[in-house]
A = this chain, B = another copy of it.
Amino acid sequence: MDMQRALTATKVISPGMGNFRLRVAEILEGRRLRDPVARAIDLGLIGLIVLNVIAIALESVPSLMQAYQRQFFILEVFSVFVFSIEYIARVWSCVELRGHNRSHSILTRLKFMTTPMVLVDLLAILPFYITFLIGVDLRFLRVMRLLRIFKLTRYSEAMTTMFEVLQEEKSVLVAAAFIMFILVVLASSGIYLIEQDVQPDVFGSIPAAMWWSIVTLTTVGYGDVTPITAGGKAFGALVAIVGVGMVAMPAGILASGFANAFRRRRVSFEQELQIALEDGELSEAECESLKRIQAELGVSEEDAEHLLRFALRQLNGASLQCPKCGHRI
């Protein structure tokens, strides 16, 4: 993710090995929103990824596979060709990115190749080449091509934020998963003790009973397996109620995590605002810079407006003047 952040804040640094490589780096990773070429390439890639996911899903329908085998194959070859070029171009041009040491280009490239997003790019094309190499068309490899869908994450700002929140709350979420695991073990043992003799086929062992426990604790409740004795139903009711608390736990954690992440960004923006307003006015250049920072931090329009109005009032209002000296603080 650090890598990721470095990339988004990238201002690609100037010439050296050739302007073309720099230009490629700018287009692929520079996120210069106003560059029409970069935008066109972005949109083209997004479209191709979406088309691929749909095609691979439809390919699994036997009747469609038979009817359009040729078309599916052509799309696959074309897509792998484009994605391969994209992959090579990314790896080749990555040395131009700020934060990378251009003098150790091989090391830099290897490091770049192990970042999550670039690994996804590799996974998107690998199944095709493996199928080609081993000469057998495995169903597993065909389905694995669906991982191309992860290439889309690169293009959404909000999604990056969400993954960051999940990352930050990782330890608490893992703890929640662990509590879930404990509950599954307890629920399974309980129902196994109670219903083992009555329904030996579904509650005959603890591992077998886990299917029911998880289906109940997650409140999915298929109903293919349910307790039938009075004791089993009483225990099942208890497990269902505990399950509600279980479902509430990650919601509570994520709610607090999101609130936290957004607050932190807002405070950062507020500080930038204070600096910009230090001289008592907001120049054109400062305003431009604030807009940029706002977009980078992902502060919402409403919040930005609100903070600006607040800051301006503080500047002109009497309420925050030093009562003795008469100077604004």
Contact = CB atoms under 8 A, between A and B. Distances in A.
B303 A264 contact: yes
Contact of A262 (B62, B204, B256): B256
Contact of A172 (B152, B158, B226): B158
Which size class do A's interface residues fall under?
35 or more
Nearest to A57: B206
A11 to B, nearest CB: 21
A324 interface: yes
A25 B143 CA distance: 54
A137 interface: no
A180 interface: yes
A216 interface: yes
A304 B40 CA distance: 40
Given A157-B171, A220-B240, A323 B319 contact: no
Nearest to A259: B256
Interface in A304-320: 306, 310, 313, 317-320
Nearest to A181: B149
Interface string A192-225: 1100000000001111101100111011111110
B182 A143 contact: no
A85 interface: no
Contacts of A57: 185, 188, 205-207
Interface string A238-276: 001101111111111111111110101001100100110
A300 interface: yes
Contact of A248 (B158, B223, B247): B247
Interface in A286-329: 300, 302-303, 306, 310, 313, 317-320, 322-325, 327-329
A245 to B, nearest CB: 5
Nearest to A165: B252
A35 interface: no
A158 B150 CA distance: 29
Given A149-B185, A211-B236, A324-B324, 20 more contacts: A149-B181, A162-B172, A162-B176, A162-B179, A168-B302, A180-B241, A210-B237, A211-B233, A218-B219, A220-B221, A244-B247, A247-B251, A253-B254, A255-B255, A260-B262, A264-B302, A267-B310, A274-B319, A275-B317, A322-B324
